Structure 1
Amino acid sequence: MYIVAIHHVQGSGEELARSLACVLGITPYEARPRVTTPGGGPAIVTSFAATDQAHDCAIKLQAGGFTPVLIDSEQMETDRSRLLVRQVQFTPEALHVVTQAEQQISLPYGEINLLLRGAGIISTIELETTTKKKFALGRAVATGGLMMRKKVKTVTATANQDREPFCHLYTTGQPPLVLRQADLDYSTLGENRQISRDANFTWICTELRHRCTNALWDDRLQTRPGLAQVLGPSFDPERHLDLAITLIAQSLLQPSG
């Protein structure tokens, strides 16, 4: 699959919506949410099975005044192409990390280009079974009043959503470093260690932002609405987090001209 998005969107929302609608063959009403995303995008506008169709659409978007971004789903960023971090340690000059594969990396703060903070959405269904005894007229009559109640089981389903906070670090020529709140060992923080996992992860992200002065910062993927604005109506925020991450990283790190 080839995903087409637009970025660096500037101008009148109504005029842009009409231009985008003309390219995509949809109504301006349908196109309007895709040209009014915070920061001018990126926002997915369509997808194709064939590469020729995707490139043809990108050419038409560019002719219409848009900056297109193409994502090949086969080359999308996933955990296979990332370095998953287990420990972090801050020094005056560099961030030292140990990955889950026990690889040690020292990364000067000035070489970090992008800090991408977000949260995955994990949905679970919890089933609760309750048993109550209720009066059963038929049973009472059949047994001459010896058995007047029967057990009735009720199953109640409760939908729960949990957040899985993360922060991705991007540098030139190296796979993304991935910090996930649930997977980090916070013992290396020493005197900076906080009283909870949430507080520890927030402290790390704040410290990264403070020290990585050259890095772009993006946190729109922390909420479901933020994810939905990037992914558009065709992609589920719970299933397509990697697509949103890939799109944000690629669009922010590519030249705007």
Structure 2
Amino acid sequence: MPTFITLGRLPDSPGSIPRAAQLAGLAPSDAARLLTGTFPRILLRAAAEPEALVSAFTAEGFVAWASDLAEVPTDAQRILVRSLAWTEDGFVAQDAQGAEHACPFDAVCLLQRGARVQSTLEVEKTTTRKFALGRAVMSGGLMLTKQVTQTTERATQAKEPFLLIQRGDGGPDLMIYEHRMSYQCLGAQMAQATLANLGLLAARFQSLGPQAPLDDRVGRPGFVAGLPLMAVDPVDLGLHLVSEARRRGC
């Protein structure tokens, strides 16, 4: 798979974007477009000599790294949480199959909030009969109508916020979607609105695991939409970029 180059931070100098363009072999206008918005940003979708390029960026004060699309985690590698139970030093997450996954609070290294947009296409076919003059004439009035089928397509989009709990001990990350979670673990704090409960749950994790920062960059306007199209889900790509940036202090 192609190796792509990401910049987590620019040097504090006015010529940093033109210099990034020069190092990457891009036109300054292209580099400016790719580096506009919330960092981290992908500068090159495919690099011929990624290690040498990252070294060149690092030597000039950029925070840069190389990644492979195979490194980007998806929900297939995560625990999709349906309910939680608190323990003395952590929690136990239960998935849709009823399997339990224990995690200590000190193993949580990062919390990320964002939302996925699910798109669906509904196809509806309606059949009606309409008067057909030509058919009536040719059949001597025996056949007056013809059958007409009309196809209508309707696209809908639904946004579902989530909280991603990332572990630093090698255990699988845990994904909590707003509408797929039971919030009984909040006890008396549980609100009527599921979105409010997701926020309360994030605050609970922050208080019980203060070493894990809460990052909302994936949910900020334009962050995911500004990523280049690649052969991976853009939300998963954004989560991966933020996780890598955090590891590098960005």
Please classify the TM superposition score into its range, dividing by the shorter chain length: 0.7 to 0.9
Q: Name the aligned partner's letter for residue 210 of structure 2.
A: T
Q: Name the aligned partner's letter for residue 166 of structure 1.
A: F
Distance change (3 Å), C-alpha of 1:23 and 1:137: farther
Q: Which runs of 5+ in 2 are unaligned?
A: none
Q: Show the counterpart of 2:189.
A: 192
Q: Show the counterpart of 1:128.
A: 124
Aligned mates of 2:16, 2:113 — CA distance in 1? 29
Aligned mates of 2:29, 2:117 — CA distance in 1? 29
Which of 195, 200, 216 aligns to 2:213? It is 216
Q: Show the counterpart of 1:98.
A: 93
Q: Which runs of 5+ in 1 are unaligned?
A: none
Q: Name the aligned partner's letter for residue 46 of structure 1.
A: L
Instruction: Give TM-score scaled by structure 1 length.
Output: 0.80
Is 1:234 the counterpart of 2:229 in the alignment? yes
> 1:224, CA displacement in angstroms?
6.8
Q: Show the counterpart of 1:247.
A: 241
Tell me the C-alpha RMSD between the 2 structures: 2.9
Does the CA-based 8 Å contact 1:69-1:251 persist in structure 2? Answer: no
Instruction: Give TM-score scaled by structure 2 length.
Output: 0.82
Does the CA-based 8 Å contact 1:16-1:35 persist in structure 2? Answer: no
Determine what percentage of the aligned residue pairs are the same residue.
29
Aligned mates of 2:9, 2:133 — CA distance in 1? 71
Does the CA-based 8 Å contact 2:160-2:179 persist in structure 1? Answer: yes
Is 1:46 the counterpart of 2:40 in the alignment? no
Q: Show the counterpart of 1:5.
A: 6
The runs of 4+ residues in structure 1 deviating greater than 4 Å are: none
Aligned mates of 1:198, 1:148 — CA distance in 2? 57
Q: Name the aligned partner's letter for residue 200 of structure 2.
A: W
Q: Name the aligned partner's letter for residue 137 of structure 1.
A: L
Does the CA-based 8 Å contact 1:9-1:67 persist in structure 2? Answer: yes
> 1:155, CA displacement in angstroms?
0.8
Q: Show the counterpart of 2:176.
A: 179
Q: Matched residue pairs, number?
A: 246
Aligned mates of 1:144, 1:123 — CA distance in 2? 50
> 1:12, CA displacement in angstroms?
5.7
Residues 27-46 of structure 1 correspond to what in structure 2 (within 5 A)? 27-38=27-38, 41-46=39-44
Distance change (3 Å), C-alpha of 1:164 and 1:95: farther
Bigger shift: 26-35 or 220-229? 220-229
Does the CA-based 8 Å contact 1:82-1:178 persist in structure 2? Answer: yes
Distance change (3 Å), C-alpha of 1:149 and 1:220: farther
> 1:211, CA displacement in angstroms?
4.7
